[in-house]
Structure 1
Amino acid sequence: MTRETLTSRFGPRILARSVVKSRSTFQARFAKVRIDRVRQADTKIGLLHHVGGGNLGDGATLEAVAGNIKRRWPNAEIVAFSMNPDDTERRHGIRSHALRQSCWSIGYGPTGADATFKARVKAVTRKYGRVFYLLKAAGAVVRLPIEMLRELSFLASSRRTIKSFDLLIVSGGGQLTEKDGPWGFPYTILKWVVLARSAGVRCIFLNVGAGPLNQPLSRFFARRALMAADYVSLRDDKSRTLVYEIGFAGESRVCPDNVYGLEVPATEGGACERGSQPIVGFAPMPYPDPDPSGFAAEKNQLAYEAFMGKLASFASWLSSRSYRLALFGTDIGVDPLAIRDLQRTLLSNYGIPSPQYAANHSVKSVRDLLATMAGMDYVVTCRFHGVIFAHLLNKPVLAIAHHPKVTELMADLGLSSYCVDIRDFDVSLLADRFASMVKNAEEIKSRMAARLTSNRQQLRCQFDELFRFEGA
């Protein structure tokens, strides 16, 4: 969003506050914590993120924020608030607390007894549909008081936990969204911000994405959470525009996605640079998202099969032009299913066996993913952080956008010509865009490198402002 658009839409006073005061206000409020607590070398910081389902973009965000803080405040204690505390502790080596009552397993499914119960419910639903829905309505009436008591107990326990912290950072990328409805992400974010502020703990939103936020209750939860924070930064202009549209009138700034702050190891370059056959990294995803309800499930399955068919046709086109294809995913929870379906479609429709494709099954972490992508020459991806990972490695990228945030990111990078909409693209369009990308690869890489330097510099300045060591 341009300065003129902000001025016309929200008025010069709000614009002045957001641009001029965004640094000074937070620094003044945070100074006591930063000076007194850092000198005592015992600052305790919570990173709140819906992480733990297997999305490596989420994992990279957590690593980038924690790493940047530790490099500036080496004695700070970093703790995560996660949807999968056990996995977060094991994968990232930091202590973790549950973000909600019901947590995720890898793949975003429920854990333990909840998973078993839901599987049984689905089986009954398929067999006795009408009876089930009547029982479900009656059960909701019975469960509501029980769920309320459980949530009150969780809130009391969570407040005891948060009291020991000095700062709570909402650090994930797409946190201000309606995923799981108003009582999913929006309520969870507000809940923890209110608990923290009631315990005297400072709160900041660090380069988060916003949207979609269409339901009034979602907008209310998000607005109140933002208003209670000491510092707000969004990862793009569109997110900033949205938070003003839902009624937030406080100070804010725009800074690149936190993953741009990730330390990336040096790489040797792709196959082309080594004189070998060029490799195209191809990252499919499950689209549309699965929906358990009758007609919608059938409709989504048809759309998914059509999507897989187009991807397989494009992959066959690449193969016919002597490109090697490396199938990979940036979400180890759900993308492997899409990879297997794509392999089956390639075999059944084009007689291309999967051994010709370097489907990588050893990717378990962000480091594994970056090492795998380092050997690629070009990347085709559907996901937001798939684009960012390609950008970090300076790989020309073609995006099949499943969400406006992907389209906005590609536009921000000056790569709109290499972005198609997942809903209505065709294979010929994808092939034309890819051919253009290959033809202009060096110019694209030069443009991406310049933008990467700028993004990383902006993040360094932001972390320096917020976490400068004052005790030296």
Structure 2
Amino acid sequence: MSEIVVSGYYGFGNAGDEAMLAAMIEALTELKPDIKITVLSGNPEDTRRRHGVDAVYRLNYPEIIQIMRRSDLLISGGGSLLQDVTSDRSLYYYLSIMMLAKKLGKQVMLYAQGIGPVQGAIAQGAMKYIGNMVDLITVRDEGSYEELKRLKVKAPPIYVTADPVLAMHPVDKQIGRSILRKYGQEGVAPLIGISAREWKDWGHYKQVLAQAADIMVKEFGAKVVFLPMQWPDDRSVSQKIAARMRQQSAVLDEEYTTSELLSLVGNFDLLVGVRLHALIFAAVMHVPTAGISYDPKIDRFLETLGERHVGTLKTITVDTLMTRIQELWDEKKHPKRSREREERISHLRNKAFHNAELALTLIGDKQR
């Protein structure tokens, strides 16, 4: 039986990262049902319960070494693990795990990573040194590929694929309907979801989202639902925005699984998203999106869909946001535009699944 160790930001209540792990497990086991997967997690018990795989604490190095000795491959990914903007400590942690695997003679793959920005001189040197030691790299967008070129990481084969979550199959919407029913958000009125996040305690974008949400309720007769992706942080910021509104809205105040979140998003007629994986969930569930950027990864993903963000957290205005929402509303009447978007998403889904195919070629190479 082949064994894989997966390293990433798992076990911390971030719905996007948990979705990436779920997507990796789904794709890998679809291709190789008997594969054994062990995850390095901040909360091993939660990871075992949530994903049905083995897990160990991510800082328990003696146990990690023991597991790596018997494994065939270390997967590092997906997500924005290798950057030093939000934290340089996490960058060095993930690099140390990769270095450990190579010292133990194991194959290492960066799996659909979003690379950078890497700004510090020491961090750039570490990325160049360890990045050139790994066996295979896939990145989720062209911007990440360009960042690797800038960092002079060029020894391993590098493929531009797509975020792992895009390989997931759409889920049944009934689960989401049941959750929405608990909050009184059912019926024939259009449903508009908002996925926000806290950022430096800024107030401007919160006010813009509140005002735009009020307009959506009044002009479209819509119901507005705030969807928390990072638990419990996003619930708090959603409550702050909802408190600024004059119209009624609903804040979903529970933690949800990947399947539940996908099902909830599938019930929306439109999603306004700050969180990257809220936008990706919308793509998986074929829901139109208006993305607000706080990080290059948002811009990069939207570009793969042939779209642009409607503003950054600093520059977004009610007018620009509502202009885009009106465009999306009108596009629902034009099937051709929807078909073009679906074709892009289908292409990205195939590229996302290719991550797992490439990972298993490494195991095949080792076993021959």
* Same fold flag (TM > 0.5): yes
Equivalent residue, structure 2, for 1:175: 81
- Tell me the equivalent position of 1:340: 239
Q: Give the structure 2 partner of residue 375 of structure 1.
A: 267
Shift of 1:266: 4.2
Among 206, 214, 217, the residue aligned to 2:122: 217
Q: 1:402 to 1:68 in 2, by over 3 A?
A: same
Contact map agreement 2:193 2:270 (CA 8 A) in 1 = yes
1:15-414 matched pairs, under 5 angstroms? 42-100=1-59, 155-156=61-62, 158-178=64-84, 181-182=87-88, 184-250=89-155, 251-267=157-173, 276-288=188-200, 301=201, 304-321=202-219, 322-346=221-245, 350=246, 352=247, 356-414=248-306
Question: Superposition RMSD on alpha carbons, in Å?
Answer: 2.4
4+ residue stretches of structure 1 with deviation over 6 A? 268-271, 468-471
How far did residue 267 of structure 1 move? 4.1
Please say if 1:421 is aligned against 2:312: yes
Do the aligned partners of 2:10 and 2:17 also contact (CA within 8 Å) in 1? Answer: yes
Query: Using the alignment, how far apart are the partners of 1:225 and 1:92 within structure 2?
Result: 29
SS in 2 for 1:401: coil
Where in structure 1 are there 5+ consecutive unaligned residues? Answer: 1-41, 101-153, 289-300
Structure 2 segments unaligned to the other structure (5+ residues): 181-185
CA contact (8 A) 1:65 1:258 kept: yes
Aligned-pair CA distance for 1:286: 0.8
Report the AA paired with residue 194 of structure 2: F
Distance in 2 of aligned mates of 1:359 and 1:155: 40
Range with greater deviation from structure 2 (452-461 or 321-330): 452-461
Contact in 1 for aligned 2:271/2:282 (Cα 8 Å): yes
TM-fit CA distance, 1:467: 2.5
Q: Deviations over 1:40-88 (max 9, x none)?
A: xx21111111122211110111011111111222111111012232322
Structure 2 Cα separation of the partners of residues 335 and 462 of structure 1: 30
SS at match of 1:204: strand
Distance 1:64 1:431, change over 3 A: same
Cα distance, 1:200 vs structure 2: 1.6
User: Deviation digits for residues 272-305 of structure 1, max 9, x if unmatched?
Assistant: xx992211111121122xxxxxxxxxxxx4xx22
Q: Report the residue type matching 2:192 in the other structure.
A: V
Deviations 1:173-222 (A, max 9, x none): 1111115543x122112211111111121111111001121011221222
- Over alpha carbons, which structure has the higher Rg? 1
Contact 1:47–1:171 (Cα < 8 Å) also in 2: yes
* Percent identity of paired positions between Structure 1 and Structure 2: 20
Aligned length: 352
Q: How far off is 1:444 after superposition?
A: 4.3
CA drift at 1:332: 2.2
Deviation at 1:360, TM superposition (A): 2.3
Q: CA deviation at 1:406?
A: 0.5
3-state SS in 2 of match to 1:414? coil
Q: Which amino acid aligns with 2:130?
A: A
Which protein has the bigger helix share?
1
- How much does 1:158 deviate? 3.5
CA contact (8 A) 1:287 1:307 kept: no
- CA distances 1:120-154 after superposition (whole Å, capped 9, x unpaired): xxxxxxxxxxxxxxxxxxxxxxxxxxxxxxxxxx6
Q: Which amino acid aligns with 2:70?
A: S
Q: Give the superposition deviation at 1:156.
A: 5.0
Distance (whole Å) between structure 1 residues aligned to residue 296 and residue 105 of structure 2? 36
**Post-superposition CA distance 1:352-378 (Å, at most 9, x none):** 3xxx32322344211111111111100
Q: How does 1:440-459 map to 2 (within 5 A)?
A: 440-441=331-332, 442=334, 443-459=336-352
The residue that corresponds to 1:436 in the other structure is 327
Q: How far apart in 2 are the matches of 1:258 and 1:70?
A: 14
Instruction: Determine the C-alpha separation between the residues in 2 that align with 1:381 and 1:261.
Output: 20
Structure 1 counterpart of 2:195, which letter? A
**Is the Cα contact below 8 Å between 1:394 and 1:445 reproduced in 2?**
no
- Specify the SS of the correspondent of 1:376: coil
Offset at 1:319?
Answer: 1.4
In 1, Cα distance between equivalents of 2:62 and 2:191: 53
Give 1:159 deviation, angstroms. Answer: 2.5
**Distance (whole Å) between structure 2 residues aligned to residue 397 and residue 180 of structure 1:** 25
Cα shift readout 1:434-466 (whole Å, capped 9, x = no counterpart): 111211234443222111111122233443344
Letter in 2 for 1:359: V
C-alpha offsets along residues 228-273 of structure 1, whole Å, 9 cap, x if unaligned?
11111111111010111012122311001111112322448999xx
Q: Is the 8 A contact 1:227 1:248 kept in 2?
A: yes
Does structure 2 conserve the Cα–Cα contact (< 8 Å) formed by 1:391 and 1:448?
no
CA separation in 1, counterparts of 2:225 and 2:13? Answer: 20
